[in-house]
Amino acid sequence: MPSGAAAPTFAGVTTVFVHGLPETEIVWDPLADALDGTSVSLALPGFGAPLPGGFIPSKDGYANWLTTRLETIEDPIDLVGHDFGSVLCLRLVTGLETRVRSWTVDLANLFHPAYVWHRTARIWQTLGAGEEAMARVHSDGAEGLARRAARLGQLGVPSDVARAMSAAHDEVMSRCILGLYRSAQPNVRADWAITPAGATAPGLVLHAAADPFGDASMSGAVAGELGAAQARLDDLGHMWMIEDPRRVAALLERFRAWL
């Protein structure tokens, strides 16, 4: 923004946050508090939220649910996704007729046609092994809860948030995680084509430099494919929205100011 220009305002625009796995919508609370304007943090079905009747936990099921949910928001929408939430957002703006003003995602490498899932995802995708892994998640009561929270803590989640999200990881969430990852083999682009027009709205791809699940080269290729802007978050990791919400809010507001 040019020096001396008035600070942008975002009245009449709603930022919609879409979380990842195995998380709940509370991961967005710090960023929502720091960001100017109205925001909504969606809870994906089965992730601390009930499953709609007949809902099938698959990548298409969640993408269609998200499309329907956005249709209930009357304001122009700035869509922000994280982790598998980014994948769903990218599906909406490249393959479905979804009305958004802009989109911002991390881990765009997950949307690359050559992406190979990480080891844990491959276990979840394997019949039997995935069920065994999820059974261990729910074992040992309080000790198991503490272990799950500790793993989230290693990714930068504060202890109180980590415990709350770990407590929400019930058997329903486990079934949804397995269904979602098993519907995305060998990766999400296997049967998700991009429309010839590319993305339907201006986009921003974030590269959190310390995120162990990221790949800057693949993310950059996806950004180029979609004509999106890019921004690097040095020293931030997988939970960038919690680690430095004010810095991220300022970045998002600079991006949104030019729309």
What digits encode the pLDDT tens for the residues 98-112? 889 999 999 999 999
The pLDDT confidence band at residue 9, using thresholds 50, 70 and 90, is low
pLDDT at 66 over 50: yes
Q: What was the pLDDT predicted at 256? A: 92
Whole-number Å distance between alpha carbons of 25 and 121? 21
Task: Indicate the CATH number of 14-257 among 3.40.50.11290, 1.20.120.450, 1.10.238.10, 3.40.50.1820.
Answer: 3.40.50.1820
Tell me which of 259 and 41 has the higher pLDDT: 41
pLDDT at 3 over 80: no
According to DSSP, residue 188 is labeled: G
Residue identified by tokens 């490249």 is 94
Four-residue CA torsion sign, 206, 208, 211, 215: positive
Average pLDDT over residues 72-87: 96
Token reading at 172: 């329903």
Q: What was the pLDDT predicted at 14? A: 96
Angle at 82 between CA 180 and CA 257, to 5 degrees: 140
Tell how strand 203-208 and strand 229-233 pair up.
Answer: parallel
According to DSSP, residue 195 is labeled: P
Q: What was the pLDDT predicted at 64? A: 96
Domain ranges of the chain: 14-257
* Largest separation between any pair of C-alpha atoms in the chain: 61
pLDDT at 122 over 90: yes
Cis status of the peptide bond prior to 22, with omega within 30 of 0: yes
Nearest C-alpha neighbor of 187 from the set 118, 120, 123, 237: 118
Residue 79, strand partner residues? 16, 103
* Cβ-proximal residues to 204 (8 Å cutoff; 6+ apart), any chain: 102, 103, 104, 105, 228, 229, 230, 231, 252, 255
The pLDDT confidence band at residue 223, using thresholds 50, 70 and 90, is very high
If 0-12 CB within 10 Å is exposed, 13-18 middle and 19+ buried, where does residue 12 land?
exposed
pLDDT at 11 over 70: no
Q: How many CB atoms are located within 10 Å of the residue 140 CB?
A: 11
Contact status, residue 170 vs residue 148, Cβ threshold 8 Å: no
Residue 78, strand partner residues? 15, 102
Q: What is the identity of the amino acid at 20? A: G
pTM for this one?
0.92
User: Listing from the earlier edge strand, what are the strands of the sheet with 77-81?
Assistant: 38-42, 14-18, 77-81, 102-106, 203-208, 229-233
Q: What was the pLDDT predicted at 10? A: 62
Tell how strand 38-42 and strand 203-208 pair up.
Answer: unpaired
